[in-house]
Amino acid sequence: MASDLFYNRDSNISGVTIETDYADLNLTPVYGSKVSFKSKNFTYEVDDFHINSIPSSLNSLMAEYQVRYDVNETNAQKIAAFIESKNGNQLFEFNIDNSGIYKSLSGVSDNYSINHMNNQHYEVAVSYSVDEAPNLFNWSGMNFVNLNVPTFNSSAEYKKYDVVYMNNNTNKLNNFYYCTGDHNASSAEYSPTGSSSFWTQDFFFKPDIGFQNDVKLKNEVLEFKNSFKQRIKTKDNNASFPVNYTFTDISDKQLKCMLHFLENKAGYRRFRHDIESVYNRPKVMYCPEWDHTWKFYNAHDLNVALVEDVLGVIPTGS
């Protein structure tokens, strides 16, 4: 008699109790897990290599979490059964790290893989997508980074990479300041808008030594048949270039400060940046994507991709 192997392949596992919430699995990802942020923008070039970059929707800033669990067979089954129960289209809340870098988030998972290492040792890799998070609607608290930002206090002690809010701009997104050094804020000149301020709204973070950039001079090229090429400069700003930075083994505090800065810029908002090596002219940049890897306790890697806006204007109004 033929075996009856007909069943609904929405679930490949039976006999496993499926938890109501993902947190009930009570599992912690291993180091090496990663999250990538990318802004989905409508970007086009106009005169003289000027770039217009406009968010494509309210949910333009998206995050993709790639996390891995080292578990036994029972827990591997629980993870797989839970992910399959959500069918790749149902939102669920998850919190992937015990370091408190990110808030609990709602997303979907439409992909997982299991590596059978040996007896009772399985590596389960799970992808989570967060693409329904209108982050600038939650401008005061941010959607992703788990950082409580206090209002500036003129009698407080501050440390490098602290973040404060000071209501002095009609555009509330432009009221966050980032601490560049330890200090006591007792003097008015040390306030975010003071003459000797330890605060900035520029991208002041120092990347790893060994930064490399590639400058391609952008000209029109006429290629004569069986002859030579003639290069013609038709636009200004032809020596602009993107910048890719790596920050290795940075602390929780620095990472949260940088993540807040980047999330506040939402992948399209401009900011000033001075490249310390060789280049001595200030630049206006925006950051459409970045990724973070958990290395080990209080140590993280962050990769940041900056794009130069050659117009050199940072909007400050509402």
pLDDT digits (tens, 9 = 90+) for 74-99: 999 999 999 999 999 999 998 877 78
What total of structural domains would you count in the chain?
Answer: 1
- State the residue range of the domain holding 36: 27-308
User: Nearest to residue 22, comparing CAs of 112, 117, 122, 91?
Assistant: 91
The pLDDT-based confidence of 3 (bands split at 50, 70, 90) is low
Sign of CA dihedral 199, 315, 166, 268: negative
For tokens 């919190």, name the residue.
95
The Cα–Cα gap between 30 and 96 comes to 10
**What count of other Cβ atoms lies within 10 Å of the Cβ of residue 26?**
9
**What is the number of H-type helices and E-type strands within the chain?**
2, 18
Q: What does the mean pLDDT of the chain come to?
A: 89
Of the two residues 34 and 232, the one the predictor is more confident about is 34
Encode 220-231: b = buried (16+ Cβ within 10 Å), e = exposed.
eeeeeeeeeeee
Examine residue 79 and state whether it is found in any structural domain, yes or no: yes
Two tokens, residue 100: 């408190």
Name, of 12-21, 113-122, 238-247, 253-262, the range with top average pLDDT: 253-262
Examine residue 1 and state whether it is found in any structural domain, yes or no: no
Contact between residue 91 and residue 128 where contact means Cβ atoms under 8 Å apart: no
Contact between residue 129 and residue 62 where contact means Cβ atoms under 8 Å apart: yes
* Secondary structure class of 67 (helix, strand, coil): strand
Residue 188: pLDDT over 90: no
Name, of 135-139, 234-238, 242-246, the range with top average pLDDT: 242-246
Query: Percentage of the chain with pLDDT > 90?
Result: 55
Encode 105-131: b = buried (16+ Cβ within 10 Å), e = exposed.
bebbbeebebeeeeeeebebbbbbebe
Two tokens, residue 143: 């959607």
160-179 average pLDDT score: 93
Q: Among 165-179, 180-194, 224-238, name the one with the lowest average pLDDT.
A: 224-238
User: Nearest to residue 103, comparing CAs of 130, 127, 137, 66?
Assistant: 130
Residue 174: pLDDT over 60: yes
Examine residue 82 and state whether it is found in any structural domain, yes or no: yes
263-286 average pLDDT score: 92
Contact between residue 149 and residue 163 where contact means Cβ atoms under 8 Å apart: yes
Of the two residues 303 and 18, the one the predictor is more confident about is 303
Examine residue 318 and state whether it is found in any structural domain, yes or no: no
The pLDDT-based confidence of 126 (bands split at 50, 70, 90) is very high
Residue 283: pLDDT over 90: yes
**What count of other Cβ atoms lies within 10 Å of the Cβ of residue 2?**
4
Examine residue 234 and state whether it is found in any structural domain, yes or no: yes
The pLDDT-based confidence of 302 (bands split at 50, 70, 90) is very high
Residues in the chain, how many? 318
Dihedral, 41, 248, 250, 151 alpha carbons, nearest 10? -20
Contact between residue 136 and residue 266 where contact means Cβ atoms under 8 Å apart: yes
pLDDT tens-digit map of 14-25: 888 888 888 888
Two tokens, residue 284: 């206006």
In the prediction, which pLDDT does 61 show?
Answer: 94
Residue 1: pLDDT over 70: no
